[in-house]
Structure 1
Amino acid sequence: MGKTKGMASEFKEFVLRGNVVDLAVGVIIGAAFQAIVNSLVKDIISPLIGVVTGGVDFSGKFVLLYEAPQGADVSTLEAAQALGPVFAYGSFITSIINFLIMALVIFLMVKAINSLHGKKQEAAPAVAKEKNCPYCLKPVDINATRCPYCTSQLDNQ
């Protein structure tokens, strides 16, 4: 029984560790973000690509991998899949477009966040915490009055 309680407390410690919670939050936000990107691709990018390519909608493009029965309706991807296997290359192209847009948006977000962090660091210059001893040139605390290496008396300037 002691082993079970030990394992339970270890599991609780693991789950409540900061990086596990951060990962869970990241996954949830990522799923919501993916829905936004999917909508962007489906509702905005794909129609624009369709206009450029003369009305082509990639999501419905497929190749039959079987011989369709005489008179069977294979005009849509769903109807063709109901009759047998199909090579749905249009869905694959749409997935690639989704991935590229997602990667671009994440890249731009990370770039913007990094530039904000860079500006914050430039705005607040770091205060020196150490100075070099003028006699032995070893680093000592900025508030030190005596060098711990050569024991020289230091002027606090």
Structure 2
Amino acid sequence: MWKEFKEFAMKGNIIDLAIAVVIGGAFGKIVTSLVNNIIMPFVGIITGGIDLTKSFVWAVGDAKVELGVFLQSIIDFLIIAFAIFFALRLLTKFNRKKKEEETVAEPVVEVDNKEELLKEIRDLLKSHKE
């Protein structure tokens, strides 16, 4: 069982997936910091000093609906989705070019007319012997 697990874990796809998850988590933290510390304060400056995370709060007792925080999450999502789209687009282009190069790289073997005639003569001689 350990051997099977080891083979499964050492496959390229699993390792690639693990690396992608770690990098994706770090990228998510960077985007969240970008939105919280740069984009939203800039939006606050444009709107005349309004802090959207504190201004758009609807509270009833202890329950709060924080629309500004939700807006930040939407901005986070849009930035991450765009970055993933862009990365996949580049990867697809790279793979397409690589496949085109592989198909072009295969040499086409052209048979010389003399060789073709010699093959026909050989086949005729074999047929006459039989």
SS of the residue aligned with 1:64? Answer: strand
Equivalent residue runs for 1:41-120 within 5 Å: 41-60=35-54, 61-66=56-61, 84-115=62-93
- Asked if 1:21 corresponds to 2:15, the answer is yes
> How far does residue 21 in structure 1 lie from its aligned partner after superposition?
0.8
* Larger CA deviation: 105-114 vs 95-104: 105-114
Query: Once the two structures are aligned, what percentage of the paired residues are identical?
Result: 37
Residue type matched to 1:94 in 2?
A: Q
1:98 shift after superposition: 0.5
Return the match for 1:36 from 8, 11, 30: 30
Moved more, 124-133 or 41-50: 124-133
* 1:71 alignment partner in structure 2: none
* Matched length: 117
Amino acid at match of 1:108: F
Alignment deviations for residues 99-153 of structure 1 (CA, whole Å, 9 cap, x no partner): 011122233333445555666777888223445779xxxxxxxxxx77xxxx759
Q: Within 2, Cα distance between the matches of 1:14 and 1:90?
A: 44
Range moving further from structure 2, 18-27 or 121-130: 121-130
Root mean square deviation, CA, Å: 3.5
TM-score by length of 2: 0.67
Higher relative contact order (CA 8 A, sep 6+): 2
Tell me the secondary structure at the aligned position of residue 11 of structure 1.
Answer: helix
Q: CA deviation at 1:30?
A: 0.5
Aligned mates of 2:87, 2:33 — CA distance in 1: 18
* Distance in 2, Cα, partners of 1:12 & 1:44: 44
Deviates most, 50-59 or 125-134? 125-134
